[in-house]
Amino acid sequence: MQRNKIVDNILNKAFRRAKENANSIQDETNKINLAKKRELVRIETVKNIVTSEIDKLLIKIPKEKDLQEFYRSLLDIMFEWKNIKKSITRIKYVKRFVLDFYKRYKNSIKITKDTARMSQLRKEFYGRVASFLRRNSNHFELLFNVYKAYESLPKFKAYPTVVIAGLPNVGKSTLLKKLTGSEPSIQPYPFTTKDIMVGYINTPYFKIQVIDTPGMLDRPFDTMNPIEKKAVLAIKYLAHLIIYVIDITETCGFTIKEQLDLLKNIEKEFDTEIWVYFSKTDLFEKDHWKVINKITKEINKKYFLSHEDLKSSIISYMKKRKELYL
């Protein structure tokens, strides 16, 4: 975004409307009074539009205390709340500045009878307002970017939530479709070029949100930069249960050791309960069952070979956690 673009748009709108409003005044025969009315309308219009645009921008900024922890965390990663609050305070000061200067210049225009002086005072007011807004353009831009970023974040429901994790191509999206029985919705997520997929399990009691996170919980944490890692960890505020998918056929392109290493990574960073789902059972050969016996003893976690059993257990698990839906 070009520097001053937002501020320039506000000023252009204010000055254009001010001229239109002033030119619409034609009912005064006294030239001095006509000039005075027009200059007063001009500065009032600029004041009104600038302060109105500031109010519109401030209203669009989500309040930190009102946000779910997930959204608070992401906006902090992207902009840092201390910077957001600083810009909000500064923009409010800009508004007070404009209101203060409007009062001073309005009074000065009212008491003068020199039309040239009226025009000069109005131009001074324009110049001071424009200069002050441009000096604070970085704050306008930051807040506008916060608003646009928040609007583009994936919109998750406040439902009991299951997050599916695992290395690429292990069968996460297939499992998501099997659990929810429908095509998932696709939502963008910051810091990754891939989209989050979201589906829902309907029960007689509540809905369960199921999220697949390609580009995040699918690679070792030590390969991520600090920003990426923080974005991944924001997921912990959503997850009430993690399903880790393992492909022991290794047709995904990753060894069992690599898959178990990522599982350990996630265990270390998340304090959420983790269950294991073994995918691609239709490709199993005799030796694969021996591998499963070995792995299940090693990981010591609840595990599933059937998506039907997994779905039933998820519903039972969430039903017991009444704090998530009551």
Would you say the C-alpha torsion 101, 103, 107, 110 has a positive or negative sign?
A: positive
Per the structure, how many domains does the chain have? 2
Give the residue from 152, 183, 216 where a domain finishes: 152
Domain match, 191 and 209 both: yes
DSSP 65: G
Give the residue from 128, 152, 176 where a domain finishes: 152
Domain match, 148 and 165 both: no
Domain match, 117 and 170 both: no
Q: What is the pLDDT of residue 216?
A: 63
Domain match, 274 and 221 both: yes
Give the residue from 152, 184, 204 where a domain finishes: 152
Domain match, 223 and 274 both: yes
Q: Residue 34, exposed/middle/buried by CB under 10 A (0-12, 13-18, 19+)?
A: middle
Domain match, 97 and 199 both: no
Cα 194 to Cα 186: distance, rounded to the nearest angstrom: 10
Domain match, 111 and 169 both: no
Residue 190, H or E segment? none
Domain match, 55 and 171 both: no
Domain match, 293 and 167 both: yes
Flag whether the pTM goes above 0.85: no
Taking only the tens of pLDDT, the chain with its 326 residues reads 345 689 999 999 999 999 999 999 987 778 999 999 999 999 999 999 999 999 999 999 999 999 988 899 889 988 999 999 999 999 999 999 999 999 999 999 999 999 999 999 999 999 999 999 999 999 999 999 999 999 988 888 889 999 998 888 999 989 999 999 878 777 777 766 567 889 999 999 899 999 987 666 667 777 777 777 776 777 888 899 999 999 999 999 999 999 999 999 889 888 899 999 999 999 998 899 999 999 999 999 999 999 999 999 999 999 999 888 77
CATH of the domain at 224: 3.40.50.300
Domain match, 172 and 130 both: no
DSSP 207: E
- 100, 172, 242, 246, 265 from 232: Cα distances, Å: 46, 17, 13, 20, 12
Domain match, 56 and 105 both: yes
Domain match, 142 and 205 both: no
Domain range for 117: 5-152
CATH of the domain at 92: 1.20.120.1190
